[in-house]
Amino acid sequence: MGLTKSEIFTDEQNQLSTLLKAIAHPARIAILQRIIISNTCICGDLVGELGLAQATISQHLKELKTAGIIQGTIEGVSVCYCINPTTWKLLEAQLGAFLGSYKGETNCC
Amino acid sequence: MGLTKSEIFTDEQNQLSTLLKAIAHPARIAILQRIIISNTCICGDLVGELGLAQATISQHLKELKTAGIIQGTIEGVSVCYCINPTTWKLLEAQLGAFLGSYKGETNCC
DNA sequence: ATAACATATCGTAATATTGCGATATAAAAC
DNA sequence: GTTTTATATCGCAATATTACGATATGTTAT
């Protein structure tokens, strides 16, 4: 085993969990925060600021890209990574609906 | 290696990633949705509805409980699991701040 | 062309996650 | 007290993730 049984869940549940998984790492949260702040972010900058090796950061960027959360365009020698607005909005919507469905009524515990 | 270097990130980044990781699984999303809908949820119900073994569901519930997202109180023979309102609000706040920090200005790609 | 720089990919080791059968625990019913 | 019912834990196998050194690739300067 060790393999998530995605076939027994809905597409929405699988999609949301995939997006959340991509964000659920402190390095990737830090990377996204840096991208959002600078709005023109290259990998090299991150290598200096986060305490991770270049290979590791490149790998995290790839995961964010694969999930569709960021997009990269080649900008001369370096690569410019930005937030993918479509996916970001999708995440906000899906997550908002999910988190908002709990109204805080504690009838129970 | 294979161990996340949490010491190089801020407490907020680590806390948010821990909460997200707990939610970032389709089974756990499904479980939370069921808990929210029924507001009085026991493990046995879930075993029938999701296509996972009892041991697996119990493990997912434990992970949600360890992360502080749900809380369980013994209710006779079965256990009643509910959302932990404090953690849920914290997650909404942290995530709202994070997702909301991106304003969608594409100056770049 | 070649050197310098930026990023990606490969290979590998350590650790974590997922899933489940088997078994333990603990309360309620008989 | 034994059986039933509900949940938890153990142990294991399969797979995934995290991290990084080494190396490859590709782009700009010289």
pLDDT tens per residue across span B31-55: 999 999 887 778 788 888 899 999 9
Residue B99: band (very low, low, confident or very high) from pLDDT cuts 50, 70, 90: very high
Q: Do B104 and A98 touch (CB under 8 A)?
A: no
* Res. B12: pLDDT tops 60: yes
HEC secondary structure over chain A: CCCCCHHHCCHHHHHHHHHHHHHCCHHHHHHHHHHHHHCCECHHHHHHHCCCCHHHHHHHHHHHHHCCCEEEEEECCEEEEEECHHHHHHHHHHHHHHHHCCCCCCCCC
CB A83 within 8 A of CB A36: yes
Whether residue A103 has pLDDT greater than 90 = no
* Residue A109 CB lies within 7 Å of the nucleic strand D: no
Please tell me if residue A48 touches chain B, with a CB cutoff of 8 Å: no
Dihedrals phi, psi of A49, to nearest 5 degrees: -85, -45
pLDDT at B62: 96
Q: pTM for this structure?
A: 0.92
For residues B88 and B94, give the distance between their C-alpha atoms in angstroms, rounded to a whole number. Answer: 10
A58, two tokens: 């490149």
The predicted pLDDT at position B94 comes to 96
- Do residues B44 and B78 make contact, with C-beta atoms less than 8 angstroms apart? yes
Mean pLDDT of B4-11: 90
Positions on chain D within 7 A of a protein C-beta:
5-11, 13-22, 26-28
A96 touches strand C (CB under 7 A): no
The nucleotide minimizing the C1' distance to residue A55's CA is: D20
Query: Which is higher by pLDDT, B105 or B15?
Result: B15
CB–CB contact A82 B108 (8 Å):
yes
Q: Is the minimum CB–CB distance between A27 and chain B shorter than 8 Å?
A: yes
> How is residue A10 written in tokens?
């809905």
Asked whether the beta carbons of A87 and A69 are under 8 A apart, the reply is yes
Cα(B73)–Cα(B48) distance, integer angstroms: 21
- C-alpha distance across the termini of chain A, in Å: 34
3-state secondary structure chain B: CCCCCHHHCCHHHHHHHHHHHHHCCHHHHHHHHHHHHHCCECHHHHHHHCCCCHHHHHHHHHHHHHCCCEEEEEECCEEEEEECHHHHHHHHHHHHHHHHCCCCCCCCC
| A17–B73 C-beta distance less than 8 A | no
User: Measured at the alpha carbon of residue A3, what is the angle toward residues B91 and A13, in degrees to the nearest 5?
Assistant: 40
B56 CB contact with strand C at below 7 Å = yes
As a rounded value in angstroms, the CA-to-C1' distance for B74 and C26 is 11
* Cβ-contact B20, A91 below 8 angstroms: no
Q: List, for residues A45-102, the tens digit of each pLDDT value.
A: 888 889 999 999 999 999 999 999 999 888 878 888 999 999 999 999 999 999 999 9
A52 and chain B in contact, CB less than 8 A: yes
Say whether pLDDT at B107 is over 70.
no
CA distance B21 to chain A (A): 5
